[in-house]
Structure 1
Amino acid sequence: MFTGIVEETGEVVGVTDTDDGRRLRIAGHEVLSDVSHGASISVSGVCLTVEAFDDETFEVFLASETVDKTYLGTVEEGDLVNLERAMPGDGRFDGHLVQGHVDTAAEVLAIEQVGEDWWFTFELPEGYGQYVVEKGSVTLDGISLTVAEREDDRFSVAIIPTTYELTNLSTKEPGDFVHLEVDVVAKYVENMLDGYVDRLQ
Protein backbone atom coordinates (compact mmCIF):
# COMPACT_ATOMS: atom_id res chain seq x y z
CA MET A 1 0.00 0.00 0.00
CA PHE A 2 1.21 3.49 -0.91
CA THR A 3 -0.02 7.03 -0.27
CA GLY A 4 0.87 8.76 -3.54
CA ILE A 5 3.42 11.03 -1.88
CA VAL A 6 6.43 10.66 -4.18
CA GLU A 7 9.72 10.52 -2.29
CA GLU A 8 12.04 11.19 -5.21
CA THR A 9 12.56 10.77 -8.92
CA GLY A 10 14.86 8.00 -10.05
CA GLU A 11 16.69 7.56 -13.34
CA VAL A 12 16.38 4.44 -15.46
CA VAL A 13 20.00 3.37 -15.92
CA GLY A 14 19.52 -0.07 -17.41
CA VAL A 15 16.93 -1.82 -19.59
CA THR A 16 16.96 -5.49 -20.57
CA ASP A 17 14.21 -7.03 -22.68
CA THR A 18 13.59 -10.75 -22.26
CA ASP A 19 11.20 -13.31 -23.70
CA ASP A 20 9.07 -13.06 -20.54
CA GLY A 21 9.05 -9.30 -20.01
CA ARG A 22 11.46 -6.53 -19.17
CA ARG A 23 14.01 -5.80 -16.47
CA LEU A 24 14.76 -2.24 -15.31
CA ARG A 25 17.63 -0.98 -13.20
CA ILE A 26 16.81 2.32 -11.53
CA ALA A 27 19.08 4.73 -9.68
CA GLY A 28 17.72 6.24 -6.49
CA HIS A 29 18.75 7.53 -3.10
CA GLU A 30 15.91 7.85 -0.60
CA VAL A 31 14.18 4.59 -1.48
CA LEU A 32 17.47 2.70 -1.08
CA SER A 33 18.01 3.83 2.51
CA ASP A 34 16.25 0.74 3.90
CA VAL A 35 15.70 -1.38 0.80
CA SER A 36 15.60 -5.17 1.02
CA HIS A 37 15.13 -8.05 -1.36
CA GLY A 38 11.42 -8.44 -2.10
CA ALA A 39 10.50 -4.91 -1.02
CA SER A 40 7.72 -3.12 -2.89
CA ILE A 41 8.48 0.19 -4.59
CA SER A 42 6.04 2.25 -6.61
CA VAL A 43 7.69 3.13 -9.93
CA SER A 44 5.61 5.90 -11.52
CA GLY A 45 2.56 4.37 -9.87
CA VAL A 46 3.33 0.72 -10.66
CA CYS A 47 3.94 -1.51 -7.63
CA LEU A 48 7.09 -3.53 -8.39
CA THR A 49 9.21 -5.95 -6.40
CA VAL A 50 12.92 -5.36 -5.78
CA GLU A 51 14.86 -8.36 -7.10
CA ALA A 52 18.38 -7.01 -6.62
CA PHE A 53 20.03 -3.83 -5.37
CA ASP A 54 23.30 -2.16 -4.52
CA ASP A 55 24.25 1.16 -2.91
CA GLU A 56 23.00 3.23 -5.85
CA THR A 57 20.44 1.22 -7.84
CA PHE A 58 17.73 -1.40 -7.61
CA GLU A 59 16.41 -3.86 -10.16
CA VAL A 60 12.80 -4.83 -10.91
CA PHE A 61 11.20 -7.18 -13.41
CA LEU A 62 8.15 -6.29 -15.50
CA ALA A 63 5.99 -9.26 -16.41
CA SER A 64 4.43 -9.23 -19.88
CA GLU A 65 1.10 -8.02 -18.46
CA THR A 66 2.81 -5.02 -16.87
CA VAL A 67 4.62 -4.27 -20.11
CA ASP A 68 1.33 -4.40 -22.02
CA LYS A 69 -0.72 -2.34 -19.56
CA THR A 70 1.75 0.42 -18.67
CA TYR A 71 4.18 2.64 -20.52
CA LEU A 72 7.10 1.13 -18.62
CA GLY A 73 7.45 -1.14 -21.62
CA THR A 74 8.73 1.87 -23.58
CA VAL A 75 10.95 3.68 -21.06
CA GLU A 76 14.59 4.01 -21.99
CA GLU A 77 17.85 4.70 -20.19
CA GLY A 78 17.87 8.29 -18.95
CA ASP A 79 14.10 8.50 -18.39
CA LEU A 80 12.91 9.72 -14.99
CA VAL A 81 10.38 7.80 -12.89
CA ASN A 82 8.61 8.67 -9.64
CA LEU A 83 9.57 6.52 -6.64
CA GLU A 84 7.79 5.77 -3.37
CA ARG A 85 8.41 3.03 -0.83
CA ALA A 86 5.48 1.08 0.58
CA MET A 87 3.92 2.83 3.56
CA PRO A 88 5.12 1.55 6.95
CA GLY A 89 2.51 0.60 9.53
CA ASP A 90 3.45 3.57 11.72
CA GLY A 91 3.86 6.06 8.85
CA ARG A 92 2.00 9.29 8.18
CA PHE A 93 -0.88 9.07 5.73
CA ASP A 94 -0.57 12.29 3.73
CA GLY A 95 -2.11 11.24 0.39
CA HIS A 96 -4.84 8.66 -0.18
CA LEU A 97 -5.11 4.88 -0.53
CA VAL A 98 -2.91 3.91 -3.47
CA GLN A 99 -2.42 0.26 -4.41
CA GLY A 100 0.09 0.63 -7.20
CA HIS A 101 -2.26 -1.29 -9.49
CA VAL A 102 -2.47 0.86 -12.60
CA ASP A 103 -5.89 0.90 -14.26
CA THR A 104 -4.91 2.46 -17.56
CA ALA A 105 -2.75 5.12 -19.20
CA ALA A 106 -4.08 8.62 -19.85
CA GLU A 107 -2.74 11.07 -22.41
CA VAL A 108 -1.56 14.53 -21.46
CA LEU A 109 -3.74 16.91 -23.48
CA ALA A 110 -2.52 20.31 -22.31
CA ILE A 111 -0.12 21.95 -19.86
CA GLU A 112 -0.41 25.57 -18.82
CA GLN A 113 1.54 27.55 -16.26
CA VAL A 114 -0.78 29.67 -14.11
CA GLY A 115 1.22 31.96 -11.87
CA GLU A 116 3.57 29.69 -9.94
CA ASP A 117 1.34 26.65 -10.42
CA TRP A 118 0.81 24.34 -13.38
CA TRP A 119 -2.52 23.22 -14.84
CA PHE A 120 -2.43 19.75 -16.42
CA THR A 121 -5.31 18.41 -18.49
CA PHE A 122 -5.58 14.69 -19.23
CA GLU A 123 -7.87 12.57 -21.34
CA LEU A 124 -10.49 10.60 -19.41
CA PRO A 125 -10.20 7.10 -20.86
CA GLU A 126 -13.45 5.37 -21.80
CA GLY A 127 -14.88 3.30 -18.98
CA TYR A 128 -13.31 5.28 -16.13
CA GLY A 129 -15.51 8.36 -16.00
CA GLN A 130 -17.62 7.06 -13.11
CA TYR A 131 -14.53 6.89 -10.88
CA VAL A 132 -13.24 10.43 -11.50
CA VAL A 133 -15.15 13.22 -9.77
CA GLU A 134 -14.39 16.87 -9.14
CA LYS A 135 -12.50 17.29 -5.86
CA GLY A 136 -11.96 13.53 -5.73
CA SER A 137 -8.61 11.75 -5.63
CA VAL A 138 -6.69 10.19 -8.51
CA THR A 139 -3.19 8.80 -8.79
CA LEU A 140 -1.17 9.93 -11.80
CA ASP A 141 2.26 8.36 -12.26
CA GLY A 142 2.15 7.48 -8.57
CA ILE A 143 1.26 11.01 -7.43
CA SER A 144 -1.81 11.52 -5.22
CA LEU A 145 -3.71 14.43 -6.77
CA THR A 146 -7.08 16.16 -6.47
CA VAL A 147 -9.29 16.56 -9.52
CA ALA A 148 -9.73 20.31 -10.00
CA GLU A 149 -12.05 20.18 -13.01
CA ARG A 150 -13.95 17.38 -14.73
CA GLU A 151 -15.52 17.34 -18.18
CA ASP A 152 -17.08 14.52 -20.19
CA ASP A 153 -13.86 13.37 -21.84
CA ARG A 154 -11.12 15.02 -19.78
CA PHE A 155 -10.08 16.15 -16.33
CA SER A 156 -7.58 18.63 -14.94
CA VAL A 157 -5.37 18.90 -11.88
CA ALA A 158 -3.48 21.84 -10.41
CA ILE A 159 0.19 21.11 -9.72
CA ILE A 160 2.02 23.15 -7.09
CA PRO A 161 5.68 24.09 -7.68
CA THR A 162 7.01 21.48 -5.22
CA THR A 163 5.19 18.62 -6.96
CA TYR A 164 6.24 19.90 -10.37
CA GLU A 165 9.89 20.11 -9.36
CA LEU A 166 10.13 16.85 -7.38
CA THR A 167 8.33 14.53 -9.82
CA ASN A 168 8.60 13.57 -13.47
CA LEU A 169 5.64 15.81 -14.36
CA SER A 170 8.24 18.45 -15.19
CA THR A 171 9.35 16.26 -18.11
CA LYS A 172 5.88 15.64 -19.54
CA GLU A 173 4.55 17.26 -22.70
CA PRO A 174 1.20 17.08 -24.50
CA GLY A 175 1.00 13.68 -26.19
CA ASP A 176 2.87 11.91 -23.41
CA PHE A 177 1.12 9.39 -21.18
CA VAL A 178 0.78 8.95 -17.43
CA HIS A 179 -0.38 5.95 -15.42
CA LEU A 180 -3.87 6.40 -14.00
CA GLU A 181 -5.07 4.61 -10.88
CA VAL A 182 -8.57 5.60 -9.81
CA ASP A 183 -9.64 5.71 -6.18
CA VAL A 184 -10.09 2.10 -5.04
CA VAL A 185 -12.81 3.23 -2.60
CA ALA A 186 -14.97 4.17 -5.59
CA LYS A 187 -14.54 0.67 -6.99
CA TYR A 188 -15.60 -0.94 -3.72
CA VAL A 189 -18.65 1.30 -3.47
CA GLU A 190 -19.62 0.46 -7.05
CA ASN A 191 -19.23 -3.25 -6.37
CA MET A 192 -21.34 -3.11 -3.22
CA LEU A 193 -24.07 -1.07 -4.89
CA ASP A 194 -24.17 -3.44 -7.85
CA GLY A 195 -24.81 -6.32 -5.48
CA TYR A 196 -27.44 -4.33 -3.60
CA VAL A 197 -29.29 -3.40 -6.80
CA ASP A 198 -29.16 -7.02 -7.94
CA ARG A 199 -30.84 -8.15 -4.70
CA LEU A 200 -33.61 -5.59 -5.17
CA GLN A 201 -34.46 -6.87 -8.64
Structure 2
Amino acid sequence: MFTGIVEGQGTILGVRSAGQARVLTVAADFDLDGTRLGDSIAVNGACLTVTSLRSGRFTADVSPETLSKTTFADARGGERVNLERAMRLSDRLDGHLVSGHIDGMGYLTLRETVANVLLLTFSVPRALTRFMIVKGSVAVDGLSLTINRCDDDSFQVSIIPHTAQVTTIGCKTVGDAFNIETDLIGKYVERFVSRGQEGAQDTARGIDMAFLAKSGFLDR
Protein backbone atom coordinates (compact mmCIF):
# COMPACT_ATOMS: atom_id res chain seq x y z
CA MET A 1 0.00 0.00 0.00
CA PHE A 2 1.18 3.52 -0.83
CA THR A 3 0.19 7.10 -0.07
CA GLY A 4 0.73 8.90 -3.36
CA ILE A 5 3.40 11.10 -1.78
CA VAL A 6 6.31 10.47 -4.14
CA GLU A 7 9.54 9.66 -2.33
CA GLY A 8 11.80 10.68 -5.19
CA GLN A 9 12.54 10.21 -8.85
CA GLY A 10 14.49 7.62 -10.76
CA THR A 11 15.64 6.79 -14.25
CA ILE A 12 14.81 3.71 -16.29
CA LEU A 13 18.18 2.28 -17.27
CA GLY A 14 16.87 -0.54 -19.40
CA VAL A 15 13.82 -2.46 -20.57
CA ARG A 16 14.17 -6.14 -21.42
CA SER A 17 11.55 -8.45 -22.90
CA ALA A 18 10.79 -11.68 -21.04
CA GLY A 19 8.24 -13.47 -23.18
CA GLN A 20 5.06 -11.42 -22.97
CA ALA A 21 6.38 -9.61 -19.90
CA ARG A 22 9.10 -6.98 -19.45
CA VAL A 23 11.91 -6.47 -16.95
CA LEU A 24 12.69 -2.90 -15.90
CA THR A 25 15.98 -1.74 -14.44
CA VAL A 26 15.59 1.51 -12.50
CA ALA A 27 18.17 3.72 -10.78
CA ALA A 28 16.79 5.74 -7.87
CA ASP A 29 17.94 9.30 -7.18
CA PHE A 30 17.65 8.66 -3.44
CA ASP A 31 19.12 6.15 -1.00
CA LEU A 32 17.37 2.77 -1.13
CA ASP A 33 18.80 1.78 2.24
CA GLY A 34 16.45 -0.66 3.96
CA THR A 35 14.94 -1.92 0.73
CA ARG A 36 15.05 -5.70 0.36
CA LEU A 37 14.34 -8.29 -2.31
CA GLY A 38 10.60 -8.82 -2.59
CA ASP A 39 9.72 -5.32 -1.40
CA SER A 40 7.14 -3.28 -3.30
CA ILE A 41 8.02 -0.02 -5.04
CA ALA A 42 5.52 2.09 -6.94
CA VAL A 43 7.04 3.10 -10.27
CA ASN A 44 4.92 5.84 -11.82
CA GLY A 45 2.16 4.59 -9.54
CA ALA A 46 2.34 0.90 -10.49
CA CYS A 47 3.21 -1.50 -7.68
CA LEU A 48 6.23 -3.56 -8.75
CA THR A 49 8.24 -6.15 -6.83
CA VAL A 50 11.99 -5.76 -6.41
CA THR A 51 13.67 -8.81 -7.95
CA SER A 52 17.29 -7.66 -7.69
CA LEU A 53 18.98 -4.78 -5.91
CA ARG A 54 22.46 -3.30 -5.99
CA SER A 55 24.20 0.09 -5.95
CA GLY A 56 21.05 2.19 -5.85
CA ARG A 57 19.34 0.38 -8.69
CA PHE A 58 16.74 -2.36 -8.81
CA THR A 59 14.98 -4.59 -11.30
CA ALA A 60 11.29 -5.45 -11.41
CA ASP A 61 9.11 -7.66 -13.57
CA VAL A 62 6.15 -6.12 -15.39
CA SER A 63 3.38 -8.63 -16.12
CA PRO A 64 1.31 -8.67 -19.32
CA GLU A 65 -1.71 -7.43 -17.32
CA THR A 66 0.27 -4.44 -16.03
CA LEU A 67 1.61 -3.73 -19.52
CA SER A 68 -1.96 -3.65 -20.85
CA LYS A 69 -3.06 -1.08 -18.26
CA THR A 70 -0.02 1.19 -17.99
CA THR A 71 2.45 3.28 -19.93
CA PHE A 72 5.15 0.62 -19.43
CA ALA A 73 4.37 -0.91 -22.81
CA ASP A 74 6.19 2.11 -24.27
CA ALA A 75 8.81 2.50 -21.52
CA ARG A 76 12.33 3.25 -22.71
CA GLY A 77 15.79 3.75 -21.29
CA GLY A 78 16.45 7.25 -19.97
CA GLU A 79 12.83 7.88 -19.01
CA ARG A 80 12.32 9.61 -15.67
CA VAL A 81 9.85 8.02 -13.25
CA ASN A 82 8.27 8.73 -9.87
CA LEU A 83 9.17 6.30 -7.08
CA GLU A 84 7.56 5.51 -3.74
CA ARG A 85 8.38 2.62 -1.46
CA ALA A 86 5.52 0.88 0.33
CA MET A 87 4.24 2.60 3.46
CA ARG A 88 4.49 1.20 6.98
CA LEU A 89 1.38 0.99 9.16
CA SER A 90 3.06 3.46 11.52
CA ASP A 91 3.58 6.06 8.76
CA ARG A 92 1.58 9.26 8.44
CA LEU A 93 -0.94 9.10 5.60
CA ASP A 94 -0.30 12.45 3.93
CA GLY A 95 -1.93 11.54 0.60
CA HIS A 96 -4.62 8.89 0.26
CA LEU A 97 -4.78 5.09 0.15
CA VAL A 98 -3.12 4.00 -3.09
CA SER A 99 -2.90 0.31 -3.97
CA GLY A 100 -0.53 0.63 -6.91
CA HIS A 101 -2.98 -1.29 -9.10
CA ILE A 102 -3.43 0.92 -12.15
CA ASP A 103 -6.95 1.15 -13.59
CA GLY A 104 -5.97 2.54 -16.97
CA MET A 105 -4.28 5.38 -18.78
CA GLY A 106 -5.14 9.03 -19.22
CA TYR A 107 -3.78 11.62 -21.62
CA LEU A 108 -2.90 15.23 -20.90
CA THR A 109 -5.14 17.42 -23.05
CA LEU A 110 -4.64 20.88 -21.54
CA ARG A 111 -1.87 22.52 -19.53
CA GLU A 112 -2.52 25.98 -18.10
CA THR A 113 -0.73 28.22 -15.61
CA VAL A 114 -2.80 30.26 -13.17
CA ALA A 115 -0.68 32.35 -10.78
CA ASN A 116 2.00 29.86 -9.68
CA VAL A 117 -0.17 26.75 -10.11
CA LEU A 118 -0.34 24.33 -13.03
CA LEU A 119 -3.84 23.29 -14.06
CA LEU A 120 -3.74 19.96 -15.87
CA THR A 121 -6.70 18.41 -17.67
CA PHE A 122 -6.69 14.72 -18.58
CA SER A 123 -8.90 12.68 -20.85
CA VAL A 124 -9.79 9.26 -19.46
CA PRO A 125 -12.27 6.47 -20.26
CA ARG A 126 -15.73 6.76 -18.72
CA ALA A 127 -15.04 3.53 -16.87
CA LEU A 128 -12.62 5.56 -14.72
CA THR A 129 -14.55 8.80 -14.23
CA ARG A 130 -17.42 6.86 -12.62
CA PHE A 131 -15.16 6.63 -9.56
CA MET A 132 -14.22 10.33 -9.53
CA ILE A 133 -15.86 13.15 -7.61
CA VAL A 134 -14.98 16.82 -7.19
CA LYS A 135 -12.56 17.19 -4.24
CA GLY A 136 -11.98 13.45 -4.31
CA SER A 137 -8.57 11.84 -4.76
CA VAL A 138 -6.90 10.31 -7.80
CA ALA A 139 -3.39 8.97 -8.34
CA VAL A 140 -1.68 10.21 -11.52
CA ASP A 141 1.67 8.55 -12.24
CA GLY A 142 1.78 7.78 -8.52
CA LEU A 143 0.94 11.30 -7.29
CA SER A 144 -1.96 11.75 -4.89
CA LEU A 145 -3.93 14.66 -6.35
CA THR A 146 -7.24 16.37 -5.61
CA ILE A 147 -9.80 16.57 -8.40
CA ASN A 148 -10.88 20.15 -9.19
CA ARG A 149 -13.57 19.13 -11.63
CA CYS A 150 -14.62 16.07 -13.59
CA ASP A 151 -17.13 15.11 -16.23
CA ASP A 152 -17.89 12.00 -18.26
CA ASP A 153 -14.48 11.66 -19.89
CA SER A 154 -12.05 14.11 -18.30
CA PHE A 155 -10.84 15.59 -15.03
CA GLN A 156 -8.68 18.49 -13.87
CA VAL A 157 -6.12 18.77 -11.07
CA SER A 158 -3.89 21.52 -9.68
CA ILE A 159 -0.12 21.13 -9.33
CA ILE A 160 1.68 23.34 -6.82
CA PRO A 161 5.28 24.43 -7.55
CA HIS A 162 6.80 21.98 -5.05
CA THR A 163 5.07 19.00 -6.67
CA ALA A 164 6.06 20.16 -10.14
CA GLN A 165 9.68 20.43 -9.01
CA VAL A 166 10.14 17.14 -7.15
CA THR A 167 8.16 14.85 -9.49
CA THR A 168 8.05 14.21 -13.21
CA ILE A 169 4.67 15.84 -13.75
CA GLY A 170 6.05 19.36 -14.12
CA CYS A 171 7.89 18.38 -17.31
CA LYS A 172 4.98 16.66 -19.04
CA THR A 173 3.41 18.07 -22.19
CA VAL A 174 0.05 17.81 -23.92
CA GLY A 175 -0.42 14.37 -25.44
CA ASP A 176 1.65 12.53 -22.84
CA ALA A 177 0.16 9.38 -21.30
CA PHE A 178 -0.20 8.80 -17.56
CA ASN A 179 -1.01 5.89 -15.26
CA ILE A 180 -4.33 6.49 -13.48
CA GLU A 181 -5.57 4.82 -10.30
CA THR A 182 -9.00 5.85 -9.08
CA ASP A 183 -10.02 6.00 -5.44
CA LEU A 184 -9.79 2.59 -3.77
CA ILE A 185 -12.64 3.20 -1.33
CA GLY A 186 -14.89 4.53 -4.08
CA LYS A 187 -14.47 1.31 -6.05
CA TYR A 188 -15.52 -0.83 -3.09
CA VAL A 189 -18.51 1.41 -2.37
CA GLU A 190 -19.64 1.25 -5.99
CA ARG A 191 -19.30 -2.53 -5.98
CA PHE A 192 -21.30 -2.83 -2.78
CA VAL A 193 -24.07 -0.52 -3.94
CA SER A 194 -24.37 -2.14 -7.38
CA ARG A 195 -24.70 -5.64 -5.97
CA GLY A 196 -26.69 -4.93 -2.83
CA GLN A 197 -26.96 -7.20 0.18
CA GLU A 198 -29.83 -9.47 -0.73
CA GLY A 199 -27.75 -12.59 -0.13
CA ALA A 200 -26.16 -15.10 -2.44
CA GLN A 201 -29.37 -15.73 -4.39
CA ASP A 202 -30.06 -12.08 -5.18
CA THR A 203 -26.66 -10.40 -5.42
CA ALA A 204 -27.22 -9.14 -8.96
CA ARG A 205 -30.28 -7.00 -8.23
CA GLY A 206 -28.51 -4.25 -6.29
CA ILE A 207 -30.15 -1.62 -4.08
CA ASP A 208 -33.62 -0.49 -5.12
CA MET A 209 -36.70 0.93 -3.38
CA ALA A 210 -37.91 -2.53 -2.34
CA PHE A 211 -34.54 -3.30 -0.75
CA LEU A 212 -34.54 0.01 1.16
CA ALA A 213 -38.08 -0.61 2.42
CA LYS A 214 -37.28 -4.17 3.47
CA SER A 215 -34.18 -2.95 5.32
CA GLY A 216 -36.15 -0.36 7.28
CA PHE A 217 -34.95 2.77 5.49
CA LEU A 218 -38.39 3.61 4.08
CA ASP A 219 -41.87 3.60 5.56
CA ARG A 220 -43.97 0.84 4.09
Establish whether TM, by shorter chain, passes 0.5.
yes
Whole-angstrom CA distance in 2 between matches of 1:69 and 1:153: 17
Higher alpha-carbon deviation: 124-133 or 176-185:
124-133
Instruction: Output the amino acid matched with 1:153.
Output: D
How far residue 96 of structure 1 moved from its aligned partner, in angstroms, is 0.5
Tell me the TM-score normalised to structure 2 length. Answer: 0.87
Q: Secondary structure of 1:9's match?
A: strand
Aligned residue runs from structure 1 range 37-76, under 5 A: 37-76=37-76
Structure-2 change in CA distance of 1:153 and 1:68 (3 Å): closer
Superposition CA RMSD, Å: 1.4
Aligned residue runs from structure 1 range 175-190, under 5 A: 175-190=175-190
Verify the 8 A CA contact 1:38 1:49 in the aligned structure 2: yes
How far residue 129 of structure 1 moved from its aligned partner, in angstroms, is 2.2
Q: Give the number of the structure whose alpha-carbon radius of gyration is greater.
A: 2
Equivalent residue number for residue 143 of structure 1: 143
Instruction: Output the amino acid matched with 2:169.
Output: L
Aligned residue runs from structure 1 range 1-201, under 5 A: 1-30=1-30, 32-196=32-196, 198=206, 200=210
How far residue 123 of structure 1 moved from its aligned partner, in angstroms, is 0.7
Whole-angstrom CA distance in 1 between matches of 2:123 and 2:101: 19
Whole-angstrom CA distance in 2 between matches of 1:145 and 1:13: 28
Runs of 4+ with deviation above 4 angstroms:
none
Whole-angstrom CA distance in 1 between matches of 2:60 and 2:171: 23
Whole-angstrom CA distance in 1 between matches of 2:165 and 2:89: 28
Equivalent residue number for residue 214 of structure 2: none
Structure 2 stretches of 5 or more lacking a match?
Answer: 197-204, 212-220
Q: Secondary structure of 1:127's match?
A: helix
| Paired-residue identity, % | 38
Tell me the TM-score normalised to structure 1 length. Answer: 0.95
Higher alpha-carbon deviation: 117-126 or 36-45:
117-126
**Residues 16-65 of structure 1: CA deviation (Å, up to 9, x unaligned):** 11213111110114361211000000000100000001122011011112
Whole-angstrom CA distance in 1 between matches of 2:195 and 2:64: 33
Structure 1 stretches of 5 or more lacking a match?
Answer: none
How far residue 120 of structure 1 moved from its aligned partner, in angstroms, is 0.4
Whole-angstrom CA distance in 1 between matches of 2:65 and 2:187: 21
